């Protein structure tokens, strides 16, 4: 073999080696991305027994709440378990209906729990109890893959799919006789993000209260990966894996984009300044997006509160603001 042929063979071998290494790196990257996605997206249905026998009639406050916090002030005298069909799949959704004295004629708020939680969670029961005490009807909704609703795939979509369950709840309320322009949505953490997306997609939702929402799920996943010791660079791959494995497109509905679609319908954003789970910069980003779009907006950054803590640390103020916001928006 002449010198030219030998050089060609060496280059071919070198390229083949480089290609093999690249394939191994890419395969390893996406293999780890699958593991990362499974880690952050998997949820345990049925609340995994974490909230005991909490119901609207009686529930216990979290251990870290103030010593003088009296949960009984927010107990609801009666409730009914209801079920209805989801919009986009052969799923059945579970909820608790807590009627006001006027039943479906009263202004109604849909209460939405957070990730890996359910309607037995105090973060859903407390604001529901506040609203009930103020004369609102409340529907506490178990999202798909959570609580007693049907399990679709055991994964969360960060609100980008779950918002359809809120729309199904609106369908059910209207079918029962609720007035379409007197229905609001309230959520905590992922529930807040879900409420924002639902509000952006469904004009029948007259107002949204978002407690500790993130601005977009991909950024939140990157932060969660970092907190768990993974590099943030796995976040885009995890989003791609979500699309391939579960059909969940995180980019399809960002909270920043959806909040801008609220038009003349008001939004209330509250967040704890000390939150180390969903940092307060998410709230600032949402405020900027809402203000840029001219959305009627109220904000309350609670300086001494962590993740979804304001409702417990400032219960009286929280209830007053909640009542004033929905009272004006829904015409109580």
Residues in the chain: 332
Question: What was the pLDDT predicted at 300?
Answer: 98
- Which residue segment(s) compose the domain that 207 sits in? 51-216+254-330
- Distances, alpha carbon 36 to alpha carbons 40, 63, 71, 85, 269, in Å: 6, 31, 38, 32, 30
Same domain, 109 and 240: no
286 in a structural domain: yes
DSSP 241-276: HIIIII---TTSS-HHHHHTT-TTS-EEEEEETT-S
- Ranges 194-208, 235-249, 267-281: which has the least confidence: 235-249
Q: Are 130 and 233 in a shared domain?
A: no
Residues whose CB falls within 8 Å of the CB of residue 246, separated by 6 or more in sequence, listed in order: 41, 153, 155, 157
The answer to whether residues 168 and 19 belong to one domain is no
Alpha-carbon span 332 to 327, nearest angstrom:
5
Q: Label residue 158 by pLDDT band (50, 70, 90).
A: confident
Question: How many domains does the chain contain in total?
Answer: 2
Evaluate the CA torsion angle 331, 96, 131, 217 in order and state its sign.
negative
Together in a domain, 56 and 177: yes
Say if residue 29 is in the same domain as residue 147: no
Q: Would you call 153 exposed, middle or buried from its count of C-beta atoms within 10 A (0-12, 13-18, 19+)? A: middle
pLDDT at residue 232 tops 90: no
What whole-number distance in Å separates Cα of residue 118 and Cα of residue 129? Answer: 15
**Considering the domain boundaries, does residue 46 fall inside one?**
no
- The three-state secondary structure class of 38 is helix
Please report which helix (H) or strand (E) contains residue 188, including its range: strand 183-188
Per-residue pLDDT of 30-70, as tens digits, reads 566 666 666 667 787 777 677 878 999 999 988 887 778 99
The CA radius of gyration of the chain, in Å to the nearest whole number, is: 23
Pairing mode, strands 207-211 and 137-142: unpaired
* CATH number of the domain where residue 115 is located: 3.40.50.1820
What phi, psi does 67 have (nearest 5°)? -60, -30
**Claim to verify: residue 112 and residue 98 sit in the same structural domain:** yes
- What pTM was computed for the model? 0.88
Together in a domain, 266 and 164 = yes
């Amino acid at each position: 073999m002449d010198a030219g042929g030998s050089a060609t063979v060496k280059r071919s071998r070198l390229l083949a080696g480089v290609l093999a290494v690249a394939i191994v790196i890419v395969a390893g990257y996406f293999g780890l991305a699958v593991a990362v996605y499974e880690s952050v997206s998997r949820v345990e249905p049925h609340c995994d027994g974490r909230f005991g026998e909490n119901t609207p009639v009686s529930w216990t406050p979290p251990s870290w709440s103030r010593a003088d916090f009296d949960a009984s002030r927010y107990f609801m005298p009666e409730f009914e378990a209801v079920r209805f069909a989801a919009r986009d799949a052969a799923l059945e959704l579970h909820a608790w209906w807590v009627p006001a004295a006027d039943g479906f004629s009263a202004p109604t708020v849909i209460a939405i729990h957070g990730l890996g939680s359910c309607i037995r969670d105090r973060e859903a029961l407390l604001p529901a109890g506040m609203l009930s005490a103020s004369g609102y009807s409340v529907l506490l909704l178990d999202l798909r893959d959570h609580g007693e609703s049907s399990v679709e795939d055991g994964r969360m979509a960060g609100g980008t799919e779950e918002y359809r369950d809120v729309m199904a709840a609106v369908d059910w309320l209207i079918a029962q006789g609720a007035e379409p322009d007197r229905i609001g949505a309230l959520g905590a953490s992922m529930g807040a993000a879900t409420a924002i997306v639902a509000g952006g997609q469904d004009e029948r939702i007259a107002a949204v209260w978002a407690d500790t929402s993130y601005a977009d799920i991909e950024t939140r996943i990157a932060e969660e990966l970092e907190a768990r010791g993974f590099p943030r660079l796995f976040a885009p791959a995890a989003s791609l894996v979500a699309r391939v494995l579960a059909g969940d497109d995180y980019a399809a509905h960002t909270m920043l984009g959806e909040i801008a679609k609220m038009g003349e319908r008001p939004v209330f954003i509250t967040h704890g300044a000390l939150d180390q789970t969903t940092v307060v910069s998410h709230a600032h980003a949402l405020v900027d997006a809402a203000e840029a779009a001219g959305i009627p907006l109220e904000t309350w950054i609670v300086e001494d509160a962590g993740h979804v803590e304001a409702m417990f640390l400032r219960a009286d103020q929280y209830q007053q603001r909640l009542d004033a916001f929905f009272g004006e928006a829904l015409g109580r």
